[in-house]
Amino acid sequence: MHARSTTISAQRNAIDTGIAYVNDEVVPALMEVPGCVGLSLIVDRPTGHCIATSSWESADAMTASEAALGPVRAGAADAFGGTIDAVDEWEIAALHREHRSGDSACVRCTWLQVPPDDIDRAVQLYNSRVLPEIEAMSGFRSASFFIDRASGRCVSASAWTTRDKLEHSQMRLDELRATASAEAGARVIEAADFDLVIAQLRAPERI
């Protein structure tokens, strides 16, 4: 399983227009592309930071889709009144959905830098230590761990029923991030919270 994430800096007054475009235009277009197994969109309204992530059955399917989806990506950036900051490709090392996300769901993302030679150890640690702990927290809905083996970049994402549930677990999440990062030899690059506004996912579990 693989994923491609597109990061857009949106105009805050155009975020709803951008969401509608992704829902009405991007999702139907993606679902027609062989090998696509879904798309999610997360947004941070105060900053205009938006990330659309498509999931793919294989790296070959993801690569083959690039030419056809370039114009769709550009259209999304226009709808958000913004610019594309980055397009990143990932291997999906872990994916687990405990419950379906609701209308008020939010996502905590943490970007990490791991020595490339230690990437498999980081995945094992995520699956054996991190995922079981967050799965037991109230309000947990789903989690994923994406990796780039060549660079050692990783991103973990966990979805929660509401912001209140996420904030209630804040201290435990911070402690878990600190201990797991130290054990994996990882450096935390950034952590941020988003609203989960689109979750059209058919990707299978991977743990």
Rounded Cα distance, 26 and 30, in Å: 6
Return all residues near 99 (Cβ < 8 A) that are at least 6 apart. Answer: 140, 141, 142
What pLDDT score was predicted for residue 46?
A: 95
CATH number at residue 51: 3.30.70.100
pLDDT above 60 for 205: no
Residue tagged 């919270």 (tokens):
193
Rounded Cα distance, 140 and 159, in Å: 6
Return all residues near 167 (Cβ < 8 A) that are at least 6 apart. Answer: none
CA angle 164, 45, 96 (to 5 degrees): 55
**174 assigned to some structural domain:** yes
% of the chain with per-residue pLDDT over 70: 94
What pLDDT score was predicted for residue 204?
A: 56
**16 assigned to some structural domain:** yes
**206 assigned to some structural domain:** no
**89 assigned to some structural domain:** yes
Query: What total of structural domains would you count in the chain?
Result: 1
pLDDT above 80 for 97: no
pLDDT above 60 for 13: yes
**161 assigned to some structural domain:** yes
CB atoms near residue 169 (< 10 Å): 21
Lowest mean pLDDT among 116-120, 144-148, 158-162, 199-203: 199-203
% of the chain with per-residue pLDDT over 90: 75
State if pTM tops 0.75. Answer: yes
**207 assigned to some structural domain:** no
Residue tagged 């941070």 (tokens):
44
Give me the domain span that covers residue 39.
2-201
What pLDDT score was predicted for residue 110?
A: 95
Task: Report the chain's mean pLDDT, rounded to a whole number.
Answer: 91
pLDDT digits 0-9 by tens, 49-66: 999 999 999 999 999 988
The answer to whether the CB of 143 falls within 8 A of the CB of 159 is yes
